[in-house]
Amino acid sequence: MPLSAYINGKRQIAPLLDSSEWEALRATRPAIELGCCRSRGFMRVSKLGTQHFVHARRSDACTSAPESAEHLLLKSIILVAVRNAGWDGDVEVCNQEGGWRADVMASKDRLRVAFEVQLSTIPFFELAARQQAYSNSGVRGCWFYGYGALNPPAPTKTDMPVFPFSYGINNPVAPSKRGMLPDQVRIGSYEMPLPEAVSALLNRQFRRCAKQHVTTSEGITIFRFHECWACHRDFDVFCPTQCSATCDDRLPADQSEDWITSPLKDAGAPWIIRKVQQYVAAHPEMNLMVTYPGWHWAQSSRRKHFTFCCFHCGALIASEIFEQLLEDNECMQSPQYCLGTITTIPLRTKQELIDSPHWCYSKIHRFCSGTPGVPR
């Protein structure tokens, strides 16, 4: 089921015709010849709405393989993304020797990039051999594959541009469920819509780097605790935190979900307490109600706990509550308890360049290391 065919002797690519042009053309019952085997064909629209062509009767000499409706739609999305990125885009392009047939071929000046959609199962070594065939022809290959399509999978540290499809937040479907179209691509640690990924790859916003920039920021985050079980008032607690950013990413600002919290006992370090006391004294306008951790006797358990007490009434709050809130942002036993970020006291920021081969992403081409260009 190709996307291209010869209509009345002129080659046409179905997804590039708008629906009115397509219907008007189909109404004329034109002579259609498929490029793969020069046999007769007809126009059709798939169950997913993709315009394409179909063999009237498949010739025994035809070398093209049947394609699913999902495959056709993904090819058409890539084709449109290639053209929107300012490249020439074509489909089902073969080399003269018959060594390869690209789903979508992007061309610009002397550069050629073949995009392949792989939804059926294939061993990685076979895919690597096909990639080598592209390389031998001076073509750069890029592969997008579906859930379970690579078996055995690609090596974790492969330099080949082999990227899995995924499902976005608004498409929460089990990846193994057939017939559901993936709408995202994961490239390294980045996940983005398929058209955006194609554009980023062609515009050299990805690079394979051997080393990775890692920026780590450490601080003390002050939280507002809601609420004391005894007096039902809010008060403030704190904990050492840190967050990291890689490549060209920026460190998050005052976003507690992006910070990793230390164990509660670390909040009791004398130098941590001094830092918080100094901050509270320097910012009276914030009306902070900070309580400081320590060892407190609990009558119910008849043992001491290292935890916070209420700023207002001194009631002991179980350490398990704070541990759960810091780790999971919720308390399963008592859902009314919660923590809200007030501010983070910065301590230090360090930058490192570590050995970590990865796909580096930067819209402004500020990469960790490596060679620029469309991924090979």
Per-residue confidence (pLDDT) for residue 258, from 0 to 100: 55
CB-based contact 30:17 (threshold 8 Å):
no
Quickly count: other Cβ atoms within 10 Å of residue 160's Cβ: 18
* pLDDT tens digits for range 191-201: 999 999 999 99
What is the pLDDT averaged over residues 310-327? 90
What DSSP state is assigned to residue 254?
Answer: S
Per-residue confidence (pLDDT) for residue 173, from 0 to 100: 43
The rounded distance, in Å, linking the Cα atoms of 73 and 50 is 6
Provide the pairing of β-strand 140-145 with 111-118. Answer: parallel
Q: Which fold has domain 67-203?
A: Trna Endonuclease; Chain: A, domain 1 (3.40.1350)
The rounded distance, in Å, linking the Cα atoms of 6 and 337 is 67
Which residue in the block uniquely carries the two structure tokens 């046999």?
39
* pLDDT tens digits for range 144-159: 999 889 988 888 888 9
Per-residue confidence (pLDDT) for residue 91, from 0 to 100: 96
Question: What is the full DSSP assignment across 338-366?
Answer: EEEEEEEEEEEEEEEEEEEEEEEE-TT--
Q: Which residues are CB-neighbours of 172 under 8 A, at least 6 positions away?
A: none
Please determine, for residue 251, whether its predicted confidence score (pLDDT) is greater than 90: no
At 85, list the tokens.
């990125």
Where would I find the beta strands (DSSP E) of 29-139? 32-33, 41-45, 51-55, 88-94, 101-108, 111-118
Which residue in the block uniquely carries the two structure tokens 């997008």?
144
Query: How far is Cα of residue 15 from the mean position of the Cα atoms in its chain?
Result: 27
Query: How far is Cα of residue 285 from the mean position of the Cα atoms in its chain?
Result: 41
Single pTM value for the model: 0.77
Task: Give the long-range contacts of residues 13-16, CB within 8 A, separation 24 or more.
Answer: 13/79, 13/90, 13/91, 14/43, 14/50, 14/51, 14/52, 14/53, 14/76, 15/50, 15/51, 15/76, 15/79, 15/80, 16/79, 16/80, 16/83
At 64, list the tokens.
């093209």
What is the pLDDT averaged over residues 2-21? 93
The radius of gyration computed from the CA coordinates of the chain, to the nearest angstrom, equals 29
Q: For residue 374, what pLDDT band results from cuts at 50, 70 and 90?
A: very low
Q: Which of 101, 93, 89, 94 is nearest to 195 (CA)?
A: 89
Q: Can you tell me whether residue 64 is helix, strand or coil?
A: coil
Quickly count: other Cβ atoms within 10 Å of residue 174's Cβ: 8
* pLDDT tens digits for range 98-115: 789 999 999 999 999 999
The rounded distance, in Å, linking the Cα atoms of 326 and 320 is 10
Query: Is 98 buried (19+), middle (13-18) or exposed (0-12) by CB count in 10 A?
Result: exposed
**Helix 194-202 vs helix 69-84: angle between axes, to the nearest 10 degrees?**
40
Residues of the chain with CATH 3.40.1350: 67-203
